Amino acid sequence: MKPFRELDPRSKIFYVALVSTLAVLLNKLLPLLILLMGSFIILYLCGGNGINTLYRLRKLIFILVGISIIQSIFNNDGKALIQLGNIMILTDYGLFRGLQFLLRLSVIIVSSSILLTSTNRDLTQGLLQLRIPYEIVFMLLISAKFLPLLRDEFKNKALAMELTGIDFKKVSLEKKLTAYKYLLLPVTVNSLLKSKEMAIAMEVRGFRSMDRRTSFRELKLRIFDYLFIFLSVVLGSLFLIFK
């Protein structure tokens, strides 16, 4: 397990790209299911929280139902499983398409979760060493920092509003909307002002003052990384061959 925990972030990025592509290329449900289970195992080995991810996936059930029904109604193939008069609410084809989509999406989500097992710093360094332009990488980094702050801002203001005695459950819709306006405007303005300040703080420390930048840290691929990448490619190919 230890070598998995020390996987280079670039290996993880490669793995996610590979698995996501496979998910799109594979059609049958069984290989997709095996791919999903494999992703869970890899996630677990890398120290990710599989149970958490599984819990979050349960919300996808709605997508399953939605797509199944839509495909059933608008596609005349397949035998009806649930019928309402002349309209086929659910066909086996529709169900198949729904499940297919669900599995594909799940594979992509679960495999991407592996990226969360690396620290932000490692991931940015990995992206930088993969020659992604540093402006883009830092944009991602700042967004990752910003989003939770934005969420906190909302929470705090909503709390303050409740304390003023406006019981959100009891006021009319019109008043509720006005109240939300008071919530949205300052948060938006605040964010803009904050990001301006952050941009200035970065600029006065030389960000973009030169064409390139050096790197204090350096990620080096280890033997296990090469092994991991190699095996991923081999297994991936097998999947495709035995579609």
Binding residues for another protein, rule: CB under 8 A, are 119-121, 141-142, 145, 156-157, 159-167, 171, 175, 178-179, 182-183, 185-186, 189-190, 193-194, 197-198, 200-210, 212-216
At 205, which amino acid appears?
A: R
Look at the block and give the residue holding tokens 């990384």: 225
Nearer to another protein, 84 or 210 (CB): 210
Compute the distance between CA of residue 139 and CA of residue 150 in angstroms, rounded to an integer: 16
Closest approach, Cβ 147 to another protein, in A, equals 13
Structure tokens at 165: 């005695």
Closest separation in Å from C-beta 213 to another protein = 5
14 token code pair: 């490669």
Q: Which is nearer to another protein, 85 or 148 (CB)?
A: 148
Closest CB 47 distance from another protein, rounded Å: 17
When the beta carbons of 66 and 186 are compared against another protein, the nearer one is 186
User: And the tokens for 95?
Assistant: 């169900």
- To the nearest whole angstrom, how small is the minimum distance from the Cβ of residue 113 to another protein? 19
Contacts of 220 (CB under 8 A, 6+ apart): 8
For the record, the structure tokens of 143 come out as 């967004």
What minimum distance in Å lies between the beta carbon of 220 and another protein? Answer: 14
Comparing CB distances to another protein, the nearer of 60 and 219 is 219
Instruction: Give the count of beta carbons closer than 10 Å to the beta carbon of residue 120.
Output: 12
Q: Is 119 exposed, middle or buried (0-12, 13-18, 19+ CB in 10 A)?
A: exposed
Nearest of 101, 97, 106, 118 to residue 19 by alpha carbon: 106
- Residue 37 or 199: the one with the smaller Cβ distance to another protein is 199
